[in-house]
Chain A
């Protein structure tokens, strides 16, 4: 079949680089303009296999020249829908790299192509060959594409005109991907990169929760797992939804058990207190519970000062890291602050009382309007006393949890003054506030196993009572 083309087609040509010395023409790329776009259309709108070129062809191009290039594919089929456009479009990269002597780099409006001199010598002189080979690969490899039509543009004015239209399509697509949530997918992704230094770390990446390092979102997980499912990023079948608010899934729990070597068997991905996500050590931000105000503060890697609990990022990171579930601390990626499910099991933003100004400004647009002025920064509060004052003054939602016993509050203030800049002592919560200690698991019938490793939490009172 490939005989009809003046070049060979094979996955073995992937990664083939066309150096400047060997290049006949350069298309699009950082020094010119171009894009690739796949549009889903109705079956009767297109003619299968049709190719249109607007602008000069390869044979009209000067050796060593640089030209703009737009590649627009229109696809149709019973199963073709707009949601598939992005996935199909990304394959243009793969397929064009299967063509010997053609180098395709990057994506969307950043595509960059080069054609090798050897290919020209072997008879490649028209974009039609490249487009037809690419369309053939599209329909062979993605059988749901029943009809495909291609338009290539090498005329700068026309490329610019079409690019403006394409940008609108991309923007609409981005809007859709930003609105993708945990409930919309069947598969999450896991990452084991951190296990080299945090062996029990279980990193779960979902549409609503970026990896702790901030580097891997759900789409990155999907892309990496597709290339190498045995690699460091791998799919996790969600399984059964066990707790909607906390974000607990049977599939995640199974993976947690396996990945942590049995250390953890439950993870709630949107919970701070109950079976929280493990913290690797790579996290961009660490959250810390302050029982004195029943609120959660966050401090990022770049903030070198002390948080109101008297601790620096590095100290808390040291305590939290290592791939453990540490109640009272939680590592997250910055983008998690933009998640609509941000620690939703524990009140979400209504529980956030403090963060460094730079971090707050970074995510400002995503903080709910009614709480944004009530979250303190180092400019408002440097220790627990000033934080309390600030929260009280702003009537932060956590304040209503304190008022139940005002008298005791006063006593505690006195007591805690001296310790507010020392190590955190979680021993003085107001009786009215409840630290949501998770039920210890592994009980079953007869016997109880409590494992506290490297614990620095002191508890005022534990009440064990039988279920009524």
Chain B
């Protein structure tokens, strides 16, 4: 079991990369837990999936209802069951959407329960792929502990690279015990390929792959079509092969 967190600045295509990775791995018979941990992202859509309820909804349910439950209710069991019930179970992968950030109350106890529950759940999968916002909120709350590989997806822009740098600093600050940090360049063109490699070297970021700009992805995106239906011969999908080798998953 390995936990891979995919992050990056909005608009760089991190969700597209996550969806393509999941698709590639499912085709090779891995059992995946896909976690959408970015309130602004749309991993379910990219996977062609519709998810009703989120983990945050379950957390709020507990907060609302806790005084009305039988006093000796085991809240960890209750929460675990509710989370299992909102997992979207697909062929080869289950999808969990984390949902909106916490409200103003105290979440210490609930998050502690969630930590235990997530520890148990993720052991059931070959791979956990987390699509997470650049602030790494759910990781910083420790609900998901021990990320093995942290992958920053960035486009060719300077700002995207700066985000990668910042994420590396956050990671250090949070002491997440990440084993490796990689960067994946997305929407790469023949013109900027060399320069991006050089930038990455200067910043001391290890490159896991360079996903070429792909007309199909842009078109799928516009049509709202699931990226998991991309053709296996799409240049972007082919690059996944290299990335997976590099990540060792």
User: Is there contact, CB below 8 Å, between B78 and A110?
Assistant: yes
- Confirm or deny: A230 has a beta carbon within 8 angstroms of a beta carbon on chain B: no
Which of B89, B94, B108 is in CB contact (< 8 Å) with A282?
A: B108
B77 at the interface (CB under 8 A from A): yes
A107 touches B73 (CB 8 A): yes
Q: Which of B63, B84, B110, B112 contacts A17 (CB 8 A)?
A: B84
Q: Which of A216-224, A241-249, A344-352, A369-377 contacts B (4 or more CB under 8 A)?
A: A216-224
Q: Is the CB of B76 within 8 A of A213?
A: no
Name the distance in Å between A194's Cβ and chain B's nearest Cβ.
6
Q: Which residue of A lies closest to B88 (CB)?
A: A20
Interface presence of A16 (CB below 8 A) = yes
Q: Is the CB of B106 within 8 A of A282?
A: yes
Tell me which residues across on chain B come within 8 A of A223, comparing CB atoms: 74-76
Query: B57 at the A/B interface (Cβ < 8 Å)?
Result: no
Question: Which residues in window 32-54 of A have CB below 8 A to B?
Answer: none
The CA-CA distance from A122 to B104 in the complex, in Å, is 51
Cβ-defined partner of B75 (8 Å) among A86, A105, A220: A220
How many residues of B sit at the interface, in one of the four size bands?
A: 20 to 34
Q: Find chain A residues with CB under 8 A from B76 CB.
A: 223-224
* Given A194-B108, A219-B72, A21-B92 contact (CB < 8 Å): yes
Answer whether residue A135 sits at the interface, using C-beta atoms and an 8 A cutoff.
Answer: no
Interface pair B81/A112, CB less than 8 Å apart: yes
Interface membership of A170, Cβ < 8 A:
yes
Segment at the A interface, from B119-127, B143-151, B205-213, B220-228: B119-127
- With both beta carbons as reference points, the residue of chain A lying nearest to B104 in the complex is identified as A301
Chain A: interface residue count, which band? 35 or more
Find chain A residues with CB under 8 A from B106 CB.
213-215, 282-284
What separation, in Å, do the CA atoms of A301 and B107 have in the docked complex? Answer: 14
Greatest chain A CB density within 10 A among B31, B72, B74, B108 is at: B72
Contacts of B72 in A (CB 8 A): 86, 177, 219
Interface residues as binary, A207-235 with B (CB distance below 8 Å gives 1, 0 otherwise): 00001011111111001100000001000
Residue contact A211 to B105, C-beta cutoff 8 Å: no
Q: Compute how far the CA of A338 lies from the CA of B68 in the bound complex, rounded to whole angstroms.
A: 12
The distance from the CB of A323 to the nearest CB of chain B, in whole angstroms, is 13
| C-alpha spacing A106/B124, complex, angstroms | 18
Q: Give chain B residues whose Cβ lies under 8 Å from the Cβ of A338.
A: 67
Most chain B CB inside 10 Å of its own CB: which residue of A29, A110, A218, A283? A110
How distant is the Cα of A214 from the Cα of B121 in the complex, in angstroms? 27
Say if the beta carbon of B45 comes within 8 Å of chain A. no
In the complex, whether B179 has a CB less than 8 A from a CB of chain A is no
Q: Contact partner of B84 among A107, A112, A282, CB < 8 A?
A: A112
When C-beta atoms are compared, the residue in chain A nearest to B119 turns out to be A15
Contacts of A17 in B (CB 8 A): 84, 121, 124
Report Cα–Cα, A363/B174, bound state, in Å: 40
Question: Closest chain B residue to A87 by CB distance?
Answer: B72
The answer to whether B109 and A105 touch across the interface, beta carbons within 8 angstroms, is no
A90 within 8 A of B: yes
Query: Do A15 and B75 touch (CB < 8 A)?
Result: no
A19 in the interface (beta carbon within 8 A): yes
Give which listed residue, B77, B78, B110, B124, contacts A215 with CB less than 8 A. B110
Within 8 A of A (CB), among B46-99: 63, 66-67, 70-78, 80-81, 84-85, 89, 91-92, 94
Contact A334 B67, CB 8 Å, known A105-B80, A215-B108, A232-B112? yes
B5-33: CB near A (< 8 Å → 1, else 0) gives: 00000000000000000000000000100
Interface status of A335 (Cβ within 8 A of chain B): yes
- Interface membership of chain A positions 147-170, coded 1 if the CB is closer than 8 angstroms to chain B and 0 otherwise: 000000000000000000000001
Interchain CB contact under 8 A, B78 and A107: yes
Q: A215-B106, A232-B112 are in contact. Are A174 and B71 (CB under 8 A)?
A: yes
What chain B residues lie within 8 Å of A282 (beta carbons)?
Answer: 105-106, 108
Let me know if A19 and B124 touch, CB within 8 A. yes
CB pair A106 B77 closer than 8 Å: yes
A278 vs chain B, min Cβ distance (A): 15
For the complex formed, measure the closest distance between the CB of A33 and the CB atoms of chain B, giving whole angstroms: 15
Q: How far is the CA of A86 from the CA of B78 in the complex (A)?
A: 15
Q: Is A215's CB under 8 angstroms from B66's CB?
A: yes
Scan residues 250-287 of chain A and give those whose CB is less than 8 A from a CB of chain B: 282-284
**Pairwise interchain contact B67-A335, C-beta atoms closer than 8 A:** yes
> A105 to B89, alpha carbons, bound, how many Å?
17
A367 at the interface (CB under 8 A from B): no
Closest to B110 in A: A215
Whether, in the assembled complex, A137 has its beta carbon less than 8 Å from a beta carbon of chain B, the answer is no
Whether A65 is near chain B, meaning CB under 8 Å from some CB there, is no
Q: Are A106 and B108 in contact (CB under 8 A)?
A: no
Chain B residues, CB < 8 A from A15: 120-121, 123-124
Shortest beta-carbon distance, A174 to chain B, in Å? 5
Q: Cβ of B81 and Cβ of A110 under 8 Å apart? A: yes
Which residues on the B side are within 8 Å of A217 (C-beta)?
71
Q: Could you give, for residues 125-145 of chain B, a 1 whenever the CB lies within 8 Å of some chain A CB and a 0 otherwise?
A: 000000000000000000000
Closest Cβ–Cβ distance, residue A299 to chain B (whole Å): 14
- A108 CA / B81 CA spacing, docked (Å): 12
List the B side residues contacting A173 at CB < 8 Å: 70
Residues of A within 8 A of B85 (CB): 29-30, 112
Contact A213 B108 (CB under 8 A): yes
- The complex places the Cα of A86 from the Cα of B84 at a distance, in Å, of 24
- Closest residue to A171 on the B side, CB-wise? B70
What are some 26 contacts across the A-B interface (CB < 8 A)? Answer: A14-B120, A15-B124, A16-B124, A17-B124, A19-B31, A19-B89, A19-B94, A30-B85, A90-B74, A105-B77, A105-B80, A105-B84, A107-B78, A110-B78, A170-B70, A193-B108, A213-B109, A214-B67, A215-B110, A220-B75, A220-B109, A282-B106, A283-B106, A284-B105, A301-B104, A334-B67
Chain B residues close to A by CB (< 8 Å): 31, 63, 66-67, 70-78, 80-81, 84-85, 89, 91-92, 94, 104-106, 108-110, 112, 120-121, 123-124
